Amino acid sequence: MTLENLHTAFLKSSGISTDSRKIKKNQIFFALKGDNFDGNQYARNAIDQGAKLVVIDDEKYKTDKTFLVDDVLHCLQNLAQFHRRYLNLVIIAITGSNGKTTTKNLINEVLSQKFKVKATEGNLNNHIGVPLTLLSFNTTHEIGIVEMGANHQGEIKALCEIAEPNYGYITNFGKAHLEGFGGIEGIIKGKSELYEYLISVNKKIFINADDPIQVAKTQKAKVYTIGEDTLSDCRVKLVEANPNVNIDFCGKKINSQLLGAYNFKNISIAIGFGIYFGVEFKAIKKAVESYKPENMRSQIIIKNDIKILLDAYNANPTSMEAAISALQKVKSAHHSVILGDMFEIGKTKNEEHQKVIDLVLDQNFQNIILVGETFYQLASDLKNINAYQNVNELIKNLNQFDFDQNIILIKGSRGMQLENLVDAL
């Protein structure tokens, strides 16, 4: 079977599955391998469940319904690239350290006002997720938005070669996945692979005009600039972030439901894409104003006389600093923080956690509560800080704190499970 035949079979199928437990009738099953499993073993099972075809790379499992290839993952990626070329729709790629999903969702809302758009579902943004995203596009779609995630060099380049984007935007260069990228310089280099790709094919790059690294990195590129800078192609201004982000565009206001000054950037870019693609301002405003953040990403929760800024979806040094500085901008009688450990930092783990400790000690917070092994090690003896090894320890001790009339920032890495605090507070 050739790639072309496989594609024809795909068009007639009811889609792709990579999980034999969830297979639906007439799907094509790709028998991927992981660290702890080998999809080939489930080939038979997938066929029994109604799979139309199973792509395998182990001859042992061959039947008349299998397609044997050298490498199932490569085959999935090649099929996705073939399909992308076949559809020839406009593809927008979004990468960066923080805010990819939020930015992707906002651009999707805005462009959907005028076009038929399909974007990455949830967080399917890696070497498997990007191909699956491309394969979810069909002939009815005019624009595809693809979130690209990476935790090491070369990954974004590879994803670009599969998705062949026409436009791209990097949310920021932040200290996320420091370990895999080898420091901040490594992150800038790794994420910039999107720029390099777009420059090499002479396509347009969207940039945040207020980010000097983005500006410097794209001097030789075709760019569309968005930001507070007066020379921006799309000029926007942050009116306030108290805590909702409100924006001014040419004297017209947009009042979002998103919190945290960092969301100003995410919204601005969505406005920029809307303007560039000819969406009317009224429709852009409607799209942004009706957008609510996904679960645990910068949510506001009101409980009696306390307000909780819940941002327990993830954390890294850059987003931690952004969230703390966003908290300070919110008007409230008292401010408190409950912060959890940041994972995947590598060698500079203690240094980065120490910076957060220094930063919070410098503010006028009523309660500073830190949770997690690393914070506990560094801060358990410090005056003005209460540190706990895990969230359950904190919950047991919660009643000793006074949160009356407070706004409380809750933020930590996903694994810290700080969302459990919301019910306890």
| 99 binds, options ligand ATP, Mg ion, none, Cβ within 5 to 8 A by partner type | ligand ATP
Q: Which residue has the tokens 């914070």?
A: 375
- For the chain, how many residues are written? 425
- Looking at residue 183, its amino acid is G
* 332 is known to lie in a ligand binding site: no
CB of 318 to ligand ATP, least distance (A): 6
* Among the residue ranges 69-77, 94-102, 159-167, 171-179, the one whose residues contact Mg ion (CB under 5 A): 94-102
* Among the residue ranges 168-176, 227-235, 333-341, 371-379, the one whose residues contact ligand ATP (CB under 6 A): 168-176
* 183 is known to lie in a ligand binding site: no
* 386 is known to lie in a ligand binding site: no
Task: Note whether 102 binds ligand ATP by CB under 6 A.
Answer: yes
Residue 201-240 contact track with ligand ATP, rule CB under 6 A, x = bound:
----------------------------------------
* 168 is known to lie in a ligand binding site: no
3-state secondary structure of 201: coil
Q: Which residue is nearest to ligand ATP (CB)?
A: 99
Judged by phi (left if over 0) then psi (alpha if -120 to 50, else beta), residue 317 lies in alpha
**CA 120 to chain CA mean position, Å:** 10
Distance CA 390, CA 388 (A): 6
25, 50 contact by CB (below 8 A): yes
**CA 88 to chain CA mean position, Å:** 25
Task: Note whether 243 binds ligand ATP by CB under 6 A.
Answer: no
Q: In what order do the strands lie in the sheet with 90-95?
A: 117-119, 143-147, 90-95, 167-170, 204-208, 222-227, 234-235
Burial of 206 (0-12, 13-18, 19+ CB in 10 A): buried
R_g of the chain, CA atoms, integer Å: 23
CB of 123 to Mg ion, least distance (A): 4
For Mg ion, the binding residue among 13, 112, 123, 377 (CB under 5 A) is 123
| 314 binds, options Mg ion, ligand ATP, none, Cβ within 5 to 8 A by partner type | ligand ATP
Map the footprint of ligand ATP across residues 272-311, applying CB under 6 A.
297-298, 311
Task: Note whether 167 binds ligand ATP by CB under 6 A.
Answer: no
DSSP state of 27: P
| Nearest C-alpha neighbor of 48 from the set 30, 31, 69, 23 | 23
Task: Note whether 100 binds Mg ion by CB under 5 A.
Answer: yes
Task: Note whether 101 binds Mg ion by CB under 5 A.
Answer: yes
Considering beta carbons, is residue 295 or 304 the nearer one to ligand ATP?
Answer: 295
* 99 is known to lie in a ligand binding site: yes
* 78 is known to lie in a ligand binding site: no
CB of 107 to Mg ion, least distance (A): 13
CB of 266 to ligand ATP, least distance (A): 5
* 98 is known to lie in a ligand binding site: yes
Task: Note whether 317 binds ligand ATP by CB under 6 A.
Answer: no
For ligand ATP, the binding residue among 225, 319, 336, 374 (CB under 6 A) is 319
Q: CA dihedral defined by 132, 315, 392, 330, rounded to 10 degrees?
A: -120
CB contact set of 409 (below 8 Å; sequence gap of 6+): 309, 311, 323, 324, 327, 335, 336, 337, 338, 339
Q: Which residue has the tokens 């901040």?
A: 184
| 311 binds, options ligand ATP, Mg ion, none, Cβ within 5 to 8 A by partner type | ligand ATP
- Helix pair 183-191, 155-163: axis angle to 10 deg: 10
Task: Note whether 265 binds ligand ATP by CB under 6 A.
Answer: yes
Q: What residue ranges bind Mg ion (CB under 5 A)?
A: 100-101, 123
Q: What residue ranges bind ligand ATP (CB under 6 A)?
A: 98-102, 123, 125, 149, 171-172, 174, 262, 265-266, 297-298, 311, 313-314, 318-319, 322-323
Which residues are documented as binding site for ATP?
Answer: 96-102
Which residues are documented as binding site?
Answer: 96-102
